[in-house]
């Protein structure tokens, strides 16, 4: 489905990227991060990037991504709009069974069923190009899945929240098509989907769906992959670095060191760190037992400053309540003495909305957004806990979050004022935007 | 001189005092016994002549404060007895043994904290000496806030002396010197702790020195000195020295807080505030204040990986529900299949047949037989004969009638010591001979109760 092209033709008058590329070594330091790295970080935070981007920046990002088995591609999404998406190099794709301690993020059973139904409705002909596919009806997909004995509420959540957030489908009212993440799926995945095509569920309301389909039908398109510089012959070190980065970047949470013994080698670890830094990422040690990747502080600060992947105010408010109840209060009581933003003390929705200024509907919507962003996870025993993204924070970001809660706990105390003063006078020291 | 921390000092003092008084309870809970005792030892050192004079148990100090509460609630005009005080302490929740309370009250009496209402021996009623009251409250306060309140108190006293209509320059000078000495001592202590103290010690100190408005008070005091004693260089110098001392103190507070921030964030040490403060923040904070948390956070969820194996499993697991319900097929009937109902019926028929044959044997072909002799052989035989005869008698399809006589036969030597004579009658032969007897028994059978 992919077609190699030359350079993506994008204008260079971007508001976001306005300078020439900087050395990759600058990433992670206190200076402004590398533009290619920042572009890749934006794609990590939002799934894709829309808007005009300088050719040099795209080229730089594509070269950096290729070192981690990724590639960039241009995708037409209708109405003359073009977005930049990430895909996998030919032959590369994450392996769901490789690291038991840190499996990749996959769909839940019902979300898989809904995805199958969407695929069956949008992609009736396995020979045709799948993206964006035939428009399908939201109600038809729900009816199809409910007829297969799936829980209706779970189906609705998957259809309206999980799959659109993952970029696998795009919903516009009652109409939906396949999303940009579907277009960027590896070719091997599409060939596997083609083999199981006849088993995909078909819409129950076929008539309505077929009547609705011609209206607003988009022309099919494929990702035009950016041709990065031809890499030299891969060494064993390159392969090892690519496997490690693939595992770390697609893992839902930290991976045990025992599952990545190669990182104990200083040379390999340095190579991984350099490759990650060029992709706007950094290697983070969780305690003394696990590895995970995250945004370098400077990259995170730049993304937050420009609003890419930043949390909404209500999401931040609910996250603050969740962290107070699950981390700050237990630790202040000496119950929980771990040094990470993890917790074993889930909080219930009723406790969160004990703060009467936060309404239940607002809190529930915020929790959904936080879960999508990785900052909240559901506890197996009920309630909510800090999510895996909390473990992806660098020490600097962890410290900033700790300070935020100290300021929240005693806004008029000396410590709060000292923190505010330091952030105002030394904005770059911790990557925090100036007040 | 300006407050380095900006406008937060402009908060109304009443609100701050209320908030701080709420926090003191939490502080007290967190202060360890050794910390409180160390503070009291230093506090009492100028007053004591021997080592070890300070109590070991902080509850004893709390008891002295509780005694004040007991006296304030009691309405007696002539003081209270030890027993009344002890009851009052119990009502206040004092968790000490009776002997400990008695000993402590005796000590308070000996040292003059409690003095007799009348200066007579064995008078037995006591009141609190006001100096003792102040001492108990001061001991509690100094343990809670490390004596920081005294600095504020000294400033207030100096300000009060300056605001008099005719302020005494010597008295004001003494106050200014005392304020400066106090500030310098606290600043030196902070400096030492910043250099050598642990994070926990710095956190405790940070809490104790986290009081608002002090800088502004010093500035106001200096302005007042310049206003009231313009040209009196000795006093103006003392005011300037006080400001220098305050700056030095402030620098040490900042250093202590900076060190707490540097260490606390790395280890996520939330002990810097009390649990109560976090709980209050979770309940009372406005959405705007809460939304200031995590402004630097960026979504960091990995992309979804399509797992074809999981998709296939889901497609296998979720099947369409049939629209109509079908009855499951009947199992095939084979000769070997056990039929439990038929088995029960066969067993019942076999039992019936055995009973009938048994009674036929007793009749021995006759139309009527006396069952008494057969029943007299043993209790099991009597039971078996009677139950068989009664069962067949109750069945209308069986041609048997049981006639039990009302006469009771008793024989202590026989195997069956007592029984009624009984006769069995066949009804389907020789009706003419047994007709009267049948008529005699038939009403019982119609009633179904034999």
- A119 & A143 share domain: yes
Secondary structure (3-state) at B297: coil
Neighbours of B105 (CB within 10 A): 21
Question: Residue B306 in 3-state DSSP?
Answer: coil
Contacts with A, B 242-261, CB within 8 Å = 253-254, 257-258, 260-261
* Predicted pLDDT of residue B364: 87
Do B287 and A357 meet the contact criterion of CB atoms below 8 Å apart? yes
Alpha-carbon torsion angle A116, A121, A122, A128, nearest 10? 100
Compute the distance between CA of residue B160 and CA of residue B220 in angstroms, rounded to an integer: 12
Min Cα–Cα distance to chain B from A315, Å: 8
Q: Are residues A34 and A69 in the same domain?
A: yes
What number is the average pLDDT over the span A182-206? 83
Domain match, A190 and A251 both = no
Give the one of B19, B273, B285 whose C-beta lies nearest to A406's C-beta.
Answer: B273
Interface of B with A in 194-213 (CB under 8 A): 206, 209-210, 212
Q: How far apart are CA B114 and CA B177, in angstroms?
A: 35
Nearest to A176 by CA among A144, A128, A146: A144
Number of structural domains found in chain A? 2
For A189, A400, B162, the CA distances from B6, given in Å and listed in that order, are: 59, 21, 27
Q: What's the pLDDT score for residue B261?
A: 84
Q: How far is the alpha carbon of B255 from chain A, nearest alpha carbon, in Å? A: 10
Check CB contact under 8 Å for B285 and A408: yes
Mutation target for B interface from A409, A419, A431: give the one with most B CBs within 10 A: A409
pLDDT tens per residue across all 450 residues of chain B: 334 333 333 343 334 344 444 444 455 555 567 777 777 778 788 878 877 778 777 788 888 888 888 888 877 778 888 888 888 888 877 777 888 888 888 888 888 888 888 777 677 888 888 888 788 888 777 777 677 777 788 888 888 888 888 888 888 888 888 888 988 888 888 888 888 888 778 887 777 787 667 778 888 888 888 888 887 888 888 888 888 888 898 888 888 888 888 888 778 888 888 889 999 999 999 999 999 999 999 999 998 888 889 999 998 888 776 777 788 887 776 666 677 888 899 999 999 999 999 998 998 888 899 999 999 999 999 999 999 999 999 988 888 999 999 999 999 888 999 999 999 998 876 544 444 444 444 444 444 333
Residue-level pLDDT at A291: 93
Q: Which of A271, A298, A325 is the last residue of a domain?
A: A298
Segment 315-374 of chain B within 8 Å of chain A by CB: 315, 317-321
* CA–CA dist B20, B18 (Å, integer): 5
Kindly determine whether residue B8 and residue A415, on different chains, have CB atoms separated by under 8 Å: no
CB neighbour list of residue A118: distance below 8 Å, 6 or more residues apart: A136, A141, A159, A163, A168, A169, A176, A178
Helix axis angle, B379-394 relative to B340-363, nearest 10°?
Answer: 110
From the CA of A372, how many Å to the nearest CA of chain B? Answer: 7
Chain A: give the shortest CA distance to residue B182, in Å: 20
User: Percent of chain A beyond pLDDT 90?
Assistant: 37
Sign of the Cα pseudo-torsion (A232, A238, A243, A245, in order):
negative
Within this chain, do residues A117 and A209 fall inside the same structural domain, yes or no? yes
Collapsing DSSP states into helix, strand and coil, what is residue A345?
Answer: coil
**Model pLDDT for residues A215-226, shown as the tens digit of each residue:** 456 677 788 888
Band of the pLDDT at A8, cuts 50, 70, 90?
Answer: very low
Asked whether residue A306 is domain-assigned, the answer is: no
Rg of chain A on CA atoms, in Å: 23
Judged by CB atoms closer than 8 Å, whether chains meet at A409 and B286 is answered as no
> CB–CB of B299 and A372 under 8 A?
yes
The partner residue sitting opposite A413, judged by closest CB among B210, B270, B301, is B210
A66 lies in the same domain as A118: no
Contact between residue A245 and residue A276 where contact means Cβ atoms under 8 Å apart: yes
Domain boundary among A171, A186, A219: A219
Q: What is the mean pLDDT of residues A235-256?
A: 89
CA distance A262 to chain B (A): 22
Query: How many beta-carbon pairs below 8 A join chains A and B?
Result: 278
Q: Mean pLDDT for chain A?
A: 83
Which residues on neighbouring strands pair with residue A285, listed in sequence order? A291
Contact yes or no for B297 and A392 at CB 8 A: no
pLDDT tens per residue across span B325-339: 788 887 776 666 677
Q: Which are the contacts of A208, defined by CB distance < 8 A and separation ≥ 6?
A: A137, A140
Query: Could you give the CA distance from residue B363 to residue B371 in angstroms, rounded to a whole number?
Result: 9
A243 in any annotated domain: yes
Record: contact A113-B287, CB cut-off 8 A:
no
Assess if residue A263 is contained within a domain.
yes
Beta bridge partners of A256: A290
Please report how the helices B130-145 and B33-44 are oriented relative to each other, as an axis angle in degrees rounded to 10. 130
Asked whether the beta carbons of A250 and B305 are under 8 A apart, the reply is yes
Of the candidates A94, A310, A316, the beta carbon closest to that of B305 is on A94
Distances (CA, A) of B2 to A3, A147, B100: 66, 72, 53
pLDDT at B403: 92
Whole-model pTM: value is: 0.67
Name the residue among A110, A123, A108 with its Cα closest to residue A198: A123
Residues B284 and A108: their CA atoms lie apart, in Å, by 37
* DSSP character string of A10-31: --S--SS--S----GGGTTSSS
Judging contacts by C-beta atoms under 8 Å, the chain B residues touching residue A168 are: 304
**Buried residues in A403-433 as b, exposed as e (16+ CB within 10 A):** bbbbbbbbebbbbbbbbbebbeeeeeebbbe
CB-based contacts of B210: which residues, under 8 Å, 6+ apart? A410, A413, A414, A415
| Interface with chain B: mutation pick from A178, A417, A421, A423, highest number of B CBs within 10 Å | A417
C-alpha triplet A69, A71, A72: angle, nearest 5°: 160
A109/B254 touch (CB, cutoff 8 Å), yes or no: no
A60 shares a domain with A138: no
| A392 backbone φψ class: left, alpha, beta (φ>0; ψ -120 to 50) | alpha
How would residue A427 be classed by pLDDT, with cut points 50, 70 and 90?
Answer: low
Q: Which of A106, A109, A420 sits opposite B305 (nearest CB)?
A: A106
Span A352-356, average pLDDT: 93
By CA distance, what is A323's nearest residue in B? Answer: B282
pLDDT at B24: 47
Q: Are B277 and B23 in contact (CB under 8 A)?
A: yes
Q: Are residues A242 and A214 in the same domain?
A: no
d(CA B278, CA A347): 14
Are A66 and A161 in a shared domain? Answer: no
CB contact at 8 A, A84 and A8: yes
State how beta strands A3-4 and A81-88 pair.
Answer: unpaired
Cβ contact (<8 Å) for A372 and B11? no
Residue B204 in contact with residue B143, Cβ under 8 Å? no
Higher model confidence: residue A76 or residue B17?
A76
The yes/no answer on whether domain B31-145 falls in CATH 1.10.10 is yes
pLDDT at A351: 94
pLDDT at B111: 84
How much is the pLDDT for A15?
32
The radius of gyration of chain B from alpha carbons, rounded to an integer in Å, stands at 52
Contact between A355 and B285 using a beta-carbon 8 Å cutoff: yes
Cα distances (Å, whole numbers) of residue A138 to A150, A173, A176, A212, A415: 15, 8, 7, 11, 52
Mean pLDDT across A170-189? 89
Compute the nearest-CA separation of A415 from chain B (Å). 6
Q: A339 contacts in B (CB within 8 Å)?
A: 266-268
**Is residue A342 classed exposed, middle or buried when 0-12, 13-18 and 19+ CB atoms within 10 A define those classes?**
buried
User: In this structure, is residue A104 part of a structural domain?
Assistant: no
Judged by CB atoms closer than 8 Å, whether chains meet at B285 and A320 is answered as yes
Domain hosting A119: range is: 109-219
Q: A340 vs B268: CB contact, 8 Å cut-off? A: yes
Last residue of a domain, one of A186, A219, A252: A219
Query: Is residue A264 in a domain?
Result: yes
Q: A120 and A211, same structural domain?
A: yes
Q: What's B120's DSSP letter?
A: S
Axis crossing angle, helix A35-46 with helix A297-306, rounded to the nearest 10: 70
Q: Residues A115, A179: one domain?
A: yes
CA dist A220 and A3 (Å) reads 14
Q: How far apart are CA A426 and CA A407, in angstroms?
A: 17
| B265 vs A: CB within 8 A | yes
Residues of B in contact with A113 (CB under 8 A): 314-315, 318
Residues of A in contact with B275 (CB under 8 A): 329, 332-333
Cα A17–chain centre separation: 21
The answer to whether residue B181 neighbours chain A at the CB level (below 8 Å) is no
**Residue of chain A with shortest Cα separation from B315:** A113
Same-domain pairing of A8 and A50:
yes
Tell me whether residue A21 is in a domain.
yes
- Domain residue ranges of chain B, discontinuous segments joined by +: 31-145, 147-287, 341-446
- Establish if A260 belongs to a structural domain: yes
How far, CA to CA in Å, does B241 sit from each of B148, B155, B161, B181, B244?
19, 14, 18, 10, 5
What single DSSP character describes residue A104? B
Identify whether A132 is preceded by a cis peptide bond (ω within 30 of 0).
yes
Residue A7 has pLDDT above 50, yes or no: no
Residue A75 lies in a domain: yes
Chain B residues touching A192 at Cβ < 8 A: 308
E strand or H helix that includes residue A92: none
In chain B, what residues touch A402 (CB-CB under 8 Å)? 264-265, 268, 270
Residues within 8 A of A (CB atoms), B 277-296 only? 277-279, 281-296
Question: Cβ contacts (< 8 Å) between B299 and chain A: which residues?
Answer: 45-46, 309-311, 372-375, 389
Dist CA A347 CA A327 (whole Å): 10
Q: Read off the pLDDT of residues A20-39 as tens digits, 9 standing for 90 and up.
A: 333 333 334 446 778 889 99
Q: Determine which of A3-17, A24-38, A135-149, B376-390 has the lowest per-residue pLDDT on average.
A: A3-17
Check B305 against A250: CB less than 8 A apart.
yes
Chain B residue numbers touching A331 (CB-CB < 8 A): 268-271
Check residue A153 and report its DSSP letter. Answer: H
């Amino acid at each position: 489905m992919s077609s190699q092209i030359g350079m993506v033709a994008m204008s260079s008058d971007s508001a976001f990227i306005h300078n020439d590329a900087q050395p990759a070594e600058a990433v992670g330091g206190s200076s402004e991060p590398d533009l290619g790295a920042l572009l890749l970080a934006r794609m990590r935070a939002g799934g894709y990037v829309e808007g005009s981007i300088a050719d040099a920046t795209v080229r730089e990002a594509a070269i950096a991504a290729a070192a981690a088995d990724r590639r960039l591609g241009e995708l037409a999404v209708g109405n003359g709009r073009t977005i930049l998406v990430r895909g996998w190099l030919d032959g590369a794709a994450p392996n769901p069974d490789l690291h038991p301690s840190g499996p990749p993020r996959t769909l839940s059973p019902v979300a898989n069923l809904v995805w199958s139904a969407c695929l069956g409705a949008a992609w009736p002909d396995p020979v045709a190009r799948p993206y964006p596919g035939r428009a399908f009806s939201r109600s038809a997909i729900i009816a199809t899945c409910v007829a297969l004995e799936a829980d209706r509420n779970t189906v609705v959540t998957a259809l309206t929240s999980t799959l659109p957030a993952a970029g696998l489908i795009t919903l516009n009212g009652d109409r939906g098509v396949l999303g940009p993440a579907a277009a960027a799926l590896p070719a091997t995945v599409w060939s596997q989907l083609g083999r199981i095509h006849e088993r995909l569920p078909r819409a129950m309301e076929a008539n309505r769906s077929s009547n609705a389909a011609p209206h607003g039908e988009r022309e099919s398109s494929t990702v035009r992959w950016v041709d990065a510089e031809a890499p030299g012959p891969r060494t064993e070190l390159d392969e090892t670095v690519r496997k490690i980065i693939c595992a770390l970047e697609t893992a839902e949470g930290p991976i045990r060191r025992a599952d990545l013994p190669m990182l104990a080698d200083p040379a390999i670890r340095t190579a991984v760190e350099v490759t990650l830094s060029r992709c706007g990422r950094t290697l983070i040690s969780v305690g003394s037992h696990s590895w995970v990747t995250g945004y370098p502080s400077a990259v995170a600060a730049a993304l937050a400053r420009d609003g890419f992947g930043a949390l909404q105010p209500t999401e931040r408010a609910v996250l603050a309540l969740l962290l107070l109840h699950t981390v700050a209060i237990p630790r202040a009581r000496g119950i929980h003495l771990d040094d990470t933003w993890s917790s074993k003390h889930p909080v219930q929705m009723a406790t969160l909305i004990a703060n009467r200024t936060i309404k239940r509907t607002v809190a529930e919507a915020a929790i959904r957004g936080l879960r999508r962003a990785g900052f909240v996870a559901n506890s197996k025993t009920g309630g909510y806990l800090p999510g895996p993204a909390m473990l992806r924070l660098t020490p600097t970001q962890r410290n900033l979050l700790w300070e935020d809660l100290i300021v929240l706990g005693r806004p008029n105390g000396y410590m709060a004022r000292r923190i505010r003063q330091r952030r105002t006078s030394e904005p770059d020291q911790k990557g925090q935007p100036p007040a | 001189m300006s407050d380095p921390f900006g406008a937060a000092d402009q908060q109304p003092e009443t609100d701050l005092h209320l908030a701080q008084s709420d926090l003191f309870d939490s502080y007290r809970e967190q202060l360890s016994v050794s910390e409180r005792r160390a503070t009291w030892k230093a506090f009492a050192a100028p007053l004591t002549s021997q080592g070890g004079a300070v109590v070991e148990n902080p509850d004893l100090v709390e008891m002295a404060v509780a005694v004040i509460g007991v006296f304030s609630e009691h309405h007696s005009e002539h003081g209270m007895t030890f027993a009344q005080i002890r009851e009052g302490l119990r009502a206040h929740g004092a968790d000490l043994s009776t002997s400990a309370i008695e000993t402590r009250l005796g000590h308070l009496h000996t040292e003059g904290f409690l003095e007799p209402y009348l200066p007579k021996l064995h008078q037995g009623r006591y009141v609190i000496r006001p100096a003792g009251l102040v001492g108990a409250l001061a001991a509690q306060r100094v343990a809670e806030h490390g004596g920081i309140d005294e600095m504020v108190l000294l400033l207030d006293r100096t300000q009060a002396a300056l605001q008099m209509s005719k302020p005494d320059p010597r008295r004001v000078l003494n106050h200014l010197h005392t304020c400066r000495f106090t500030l310098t001592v606290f600043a030196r202590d902070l400096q030492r702790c910043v250099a050598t103290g642990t994070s926990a010690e710095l956190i405790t100190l940070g809490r104790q020195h986290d009081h608002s408005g002090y800088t502004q008070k010093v500035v106001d005091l200096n302005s007042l000195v310049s206003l009231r004693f313009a040209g009196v260089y000795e006093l103006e110098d003392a005011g300037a020295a006080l400001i220098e001392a305050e700056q030095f103190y402030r620098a040490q507070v900042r250093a202590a807080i900076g060190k707490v921030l540097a260490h606390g964030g790395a280890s996520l040490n939330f002990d810097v505030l009390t649990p109560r403060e976090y709980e209050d923040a979770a309940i009372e904070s406005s959405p705007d204040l809460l939304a200031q948390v995590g402004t630097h956070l960026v979504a960091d969820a990995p992309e979804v990986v399509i797992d074809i194996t999981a998709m296939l499993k889901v497609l296998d697991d979720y099947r369409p529900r049939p629209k109509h319900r079908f009855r499951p097929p009947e199992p095939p009937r084979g000769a070997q299949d056990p039929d439990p109902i038929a088995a029960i019926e066969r067993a019942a028929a076999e039992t019936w047949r055995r009973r009938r044959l048994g009674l036929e044997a007793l009749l021995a072909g006759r139309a009527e037989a006396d069952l008494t002799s057969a029943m007299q052989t043993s209790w099991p035989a009597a039971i078996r004969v009677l139950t068989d005869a009664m069962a067949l008698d109750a069945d209308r399809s069986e041609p048997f009638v049981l006639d039990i006589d009302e006469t009771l036969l008793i024989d202590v030597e026989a195997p069956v010591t007592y029984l009624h004579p009984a006769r069995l009658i066949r009804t389907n032969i020789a009706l003419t001979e047994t007709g009267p007897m049948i008529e005699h028994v038939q009403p019982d059978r119609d009633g179904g109760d034999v």
